[in-house]
Structure 1
Amino acid sequence: MSQRTYRAAIIGTGGIAHAHAQAVQASGGRAELVAVADVDAGRAREFAAKYDVPHAYGSAEELLAAQDLDFAHLCTPPALHTPLALACLEAGVTALVEKPPTLSLAELDTLIEAESRSTARVATVLQHRFGAGALRLRRLAADLGRPLLATCHTQWYRDAAYYAVPWRGTWESEGGGPTMGHGIHQFDLLLSVLGPWSEVTAVAVRQARDVDTEDVSMALVTFANGAVATVVNSVLSPRQTSELRFDYEHATVEVEHLYGYTDDDWTVTPAPGHEDVTALWGADPSSASSGHSGWFAAVLDAFDQGQAPPVTTADARQTMEFIAALYASAFTGERVRAGQITADSPFALRMDGTGAPWRNQK
């Protein structure tokens, strides 16, 4: 039986769109990029020419009306994710949405409800779940013993020039600061490994950047399985790093990288008497990076099997609820439990909820 080739489009042809185009190209013919769209029609045409895409449009509406698609990669600024995903669902096209998927928990619930009425799906691009090291870590969970504690640090550096882009640094356009747009990759991987979280205590501050959102946040997290973790998100750190450390009963497993890891970035330190863990970890080495290609391959596998593509809206909701809880704890000074942010909570409607404490500062 011949292999099916899925028809893909990219909406928004800025920087991250190139990673998506390259992932489609690397799919080995399992998908083809048939169209792109951007509000800057000239940029759309240039992007189409670069990747040999036959059709370029000046709007998502034009593209969705003209093309018969299996899925659309949404690579626009975050404020456009929800309306574009809704348009895709209405057209019966699965939306593959860059992070963060929405600006708020309420918007995500709107997508979940719309998805229930559509033949299509919504999936969030959180590619670090699909790197070889993350897949191996989840697979070896029973051999590692009970998870005890973890640290998750995203310490990056973004200067004033980065925030000069008009849609960056505001609650209305990005939904938050490094908690929403930068650290989400690392703590989403943390959540995918440790499972449901149960409680968050956090701080979020604006230390140095002239923006509306926080530029640093920190959280103490308790998980349903009893594990505890610290989470740090920063855009003020000149030595940039993305670090995850998991301390299990039988081993410590660590990864340090920046924007994508390979097997070379992971280390395993066995506890005395559990040296076999090292051999188990090294049994299936991989040279692949935790980039968009691995995630996209998982999407195509799900399509082949008639399943919802990863990361599903249910998966994304766990991560988005964690973000809302972090902000709620930071801005109210209270511990926040899973399930506590209900539909009528101000932190469900906006991530800044009752308002960042610095909002009236000069």
Structure 2
Amino acid sequence: MTSRSYTCAIVGTGAIAGAHAEAIAQLAGRARLVGAVDVDVDRAAAFAASWDVPAYPTPAALLQDGRPDLVHVCTPPGTHLPLALECLAAGAVPVVEKPPVLSLAGVDRLRAAEEATGVPMATVFQHRFGSGAVRLRRLVAEGALGRPLVASASTLWFRDDDYFAVPWRGKWELEGGGPTMGHGIHQFDLLLSILGPWRSVTAIAARQARPTDTEDVSAALVRFESGAVATVVNSLVSPRQTSQLRFDFERATVDLEHLYGYTDAHWTFTAAPTAPDVASAWDSGPTDTPSGHTAQLAAVLDALDTGGTPPVSTADTRMTMEFVAAVYASAFTGGTVEQGEITDGHPFYDSMAGTGAPWPTTSSR
């Protein structure tokens, strides 16, 4: 495979931008940071100085003068769509932090722009790219573990009231949702990448304690096309924080417990008593790659080198975002939502809030 060196820029120089800059630095020879921009000019200047790159006054100036191959979009969620569209129009590949947009309608606008410009984009779901997840997907594809039967994904985190003092947090129109949209999405995106297409969702959501317009807890029961069933729980009110996934197959159980990122050591493999030989399958394959931005960026560059579609594609992203919309639609209407049900004209197509949360807004509390 012939590899080339790609120029990268960062839009939005808040906390997560450092992870992107570090990933670019880790791939020196394949990627090079060439500029940064932020609405906070002083913050942009400080960030750019720390990475020895120029700071640009606007994204338009960065795209015109810096002409990066890739643009890492690290701004608040409500700004992702216009920035990604601007990058696509300029011929730069957007690498967009989660959640990539605020609605299914936004995903479809991005897919249309990709087709019109011929430029791909990637959503940052970095947990897909640790060696444990890569190995598990391979074993599932090969059928080595038997049919998937039961699974769970739990994101039990704690965010206090001060966390939501940031103006865009906890607002439907700016963040798009609560932990279902912006926190647990990493765990259940990994779940979906392992188990494949989902069929139906039945969910509840609640605002238990936090001063938000969005939920701070949700729980869903999911049925997959494979016949597997799973539970997905997302919380921002859990003092003992953990991120957990469990997959029960016919021949083995595979567990993952971590917090914000994992290594091979965070995985546990348990062979069924009737299939002790399957343990050797888990011991084969890729090892020692932690989940993170470096692993995903390397995969994106690999795809670009071969003219392929960078992971995570908009098609993959849509499956995850449709799941998010289904959780809210089910929770707020009280019914089960089928895959493919939320289309243009559906209340939850243009906004995750849909028909409205079943609790008052914070302004009326």
- Is TM > 0.5 for Structure 1 vs Structure 2? yes
CA distance in 1, matches of 2:307, 2:47: 31
Matched, 1:40 2:61: no
Output the amino acid matched with 1:101. P
Cα drift, residue 2 of structure 1: 7.9
Partner of 1:7: 7
Output the amino acid matched with 2:108. D
Output the amino acid matched with 1:23. A
Matched, 1:49 2:49: yes
Q: Normalized against structure 1, the TM-score is what?
A: 0.98
Partner of 1:72: 71
- More off after superposition, 78-87 vs 62-71: 62-71
CA distance in 2, matches of 1:15, 1:4: 29
CA distance in 2, matches of 1:112, 1:229: 29
CA contact (8 A) 2:135 2:286 kept: no
Divergent runs of 4+, >3 A: none
Matched, 1:112 2:122: no
Q: CA RMSD in A?
A: 1.2
Cα drift, residue 288 of structure 1: 2.6
CA distance in 1, matches of 2:313, 2:82: 18
Output the amino acid matched with 1:139. R
Cα drift, residue 3 of structure 1: 4.5
CA distance in 1, matches of 2:68, 2:203: 42
Unaligned stretches of 5+ residues in structure 2? none
Cα drift, residue 61 of structure 1: 1.6
CA distance in 1, matches of 2:35, 2:179: 32
- The number of equivalent residue pairs is 361
Q: Normalized against structure 2, the TM-score is what?
A: 0.97
Cα drift, residue 284 of structure 1: 3.9
Partner of 1:86: 85
Partner of 2:251: 250
CA contact (8 A) 1:40 1:58 kept: no
Deviations 1:148-185 (A, max 9, x none): 01010000000111111111010011000000000000
CA distance in 2, matches of 1:339, 1:355: 21
Aligned to 1:347, the other structure's residue is in SS state coil
Output the amino acid matched with 1:47. F
Cα drift, residue 252 of structure 1: 0.4
1:1-362 to 2 correspondences below 5 Å: 3-53=3-53, 55-141=54-140, 142-284=143-285, 286-359=287-360, 362=365
CA contact (8 A) 1:220 1:229 kept: yes
Unaligned stretches of 5+ residues in structure 1? none
Output the amino acid matched with 2:83. L
CA contact (8 A) 2:178 2:216 kept: yes
Cα drift, residue 28 of structure 1: 3.2
Cα drift, residue 318 of structure 1: 0.3
CA distance in 1, matches of 2:93, 2:100: 14
CA distance in 2, matches of 1:329, 1:7: 43
What's the % identity of the aligned pairs? 61
CA distance in 1, matches of 2:114, 2:75: 20
Cα drift, residue 285 of structure 1: 6.0
